[in-house]
Amino acid sequence: MTRVLTRDVIEQALSGIDLLPLMEAGFAAYSEGRCNIPPVGELMLEKGEVHIKYGCITGGRYYVVKVASGFYGNPALGLASSNGLMLVFDQATGALETVLLDEGMLTDVRTAVAGAVAARYLAPRHVEHIGVIGTGMQARLQLQYLMPIVACRKLIACGRTPQHLEAYRRDMEALGFDVQTTDDPAVVGARCQLIVTTTPATAPLLLSEHIRPGTHISAFGSDTPHKQELASGVLARASRIVVDSLAQCRLRGEVHQALKAGVITEERIEEIGDLVLGRRPARTDDDGITVFDSTGLAVQDVQIATAVTQAAVTA
């Protein structure tokens, strides 16, 4: 019998789950070739875009189908721009075990946890300021999941809309951060050693000349062939370029843009799963520029949906 879990039940189940090792195990399984993940499905509509990510860890108990949407006119209607659900099926029979009516929340969370994984392996030792570009839900969650990983509590928040920036400042101060705000990405580049970008920008916000040695940048906004937050020169200059999935980042995200521009080659690109596995080193120096490009991988959905399904079973 299919169970349908609503958002409040999912939030409660989530509170008891240690997500960082789960996400690391997912990235590791992916980079070991133990995942069955077909290409992302995409439906482009007049007012929004829909992504379907699906797959499984081979031999695992479940496969997961996730539908996530971004309708960027929604906030003007008083609705969240992102929405969606996850479906958990039995790999042995195809039976639909659980419908997770998370309204996109699990996608937001698993994305933010990937930011913590990237920071764990790639953040410089000395972070005087964390910088965040974007003031939405993802900008909030990134900080929440970074807190156990990075000791720094000084934040420079960058956004275009003063009211959103002010609301973000208040929320991050409530989390325990000392917050300065700016509308200029160059300020973030000049003063921050750990930068997280979380916007749906379609033209670069951070340019190569903004960035100083000894910086790590995690880019989460671009998950399509069209969106872009980092100028390709940032990737060209980076000493390490790490992605969630090379296969996926060829086709979408910042790496896709830089490959298309011809300023980087595929040989330079590493997968975060290989860092988790120890096949590749974590950050080895204090002055390199490192980039993590996240396009969002189905194995992240598999990991979080499986954990919530099982936690809710034992509840």
Q: Which residues bind its own copies (CB under 8 A)?
A: 2, 4, 36, 38, 41-48, 50, 52, 54-56, 58-59, 63, 65, 67, 69-71, 74, 77, 79, 82-85, 87, 89, 91-96, 99, 101, 103
- Give me the count of residues in the chain: 315
Q: Please, what is the minimum distance in Å from the beta carbon of residue 273 to its own copies? A: 20
Structure tokens at 248: 């996926």
Contact status, residue 157 vs residue 172, Cβ threshold 8 Å? yes
> Cα separation of 53 and 42, whole Å?
9
Q: Please, what is the minimum distance in Å from the beta carbon of residue 82 to its own copies? A: 8
> Cα separation of 259 and 267, whole Å?
11
| Helix, coil or strand: residue 268 | helix
Query: Would you say 116 or 298 has its CB closer to its own copies?
Result: 298
Query: Would you say 11 or 42 has its CB closer to its own copies?
Result: 42
Contact status, residue 245 vs residue 273, Cβ threshold 8 Å? no
Query: Would you say 6 or 161 has its CB closer to its own copies?
Result: 6
Q: Please, what is the minimum distance in Å from the beta carbon of residue 248 to its own copies? A: 15
Phi, psi of 191 (to 5 degrees): -115, -10
Query: Would you say 91 or 182 has its CB closer to its own copies?
Result: 91
Query: Would you say 10 or 217 has its CB closer to its own copies?
Result: 10
Q: Please, what is the minimum distance in Å from the beta carbon of residue 63 to its own copies? A: 6
> Cα separation of 115 and 106, whole Å?
14
The amino acid at 294: S
| Helix, coil or strand: residue 205 | coil
Query: Would you say 19 or 305 has its CB closer to its own copies?
Result: 305
Distance of CA 232 to the CA centre of its chain: 19
- Helix (H) or strand (E) segment spanning residue 95: none
> Cα separation of 180 and 308, whole Å?
36
Q: Please, what is the minimum distance in Å from the beta carbon of residue 152 to its own copies? A: 35
Query: Would you say 104 or 273 has its CB closer to its own copies?
Result: 104
Q: Please, what is the minimum distance in Å from the beta carbon of residue 274 to its own copies? A: 25
Q: Please, what is the minimum distance in Å from the beta carbon of residue 281 to its own copies? A: 34
**What is the longest distance spanned by two Cα atoms in the chain?**
57
Distance of CA 312 to the CA centre of its chain: 24
Query: Would you say 39 or 176 has its CB closer to its own copies?
Result: 39
Phi, psi of 6 (to 5 degrees): -90, 170
Contact status, residue 97 vs residue 2, Cβ threshold 8 Å? yes
Q: Please, what is the minimum distance in Å from the beta carbon of residue 45 to its own copies? A: 6
Contact status, residue 68 vs residue 107, Cβ threshold 8 Å? yes
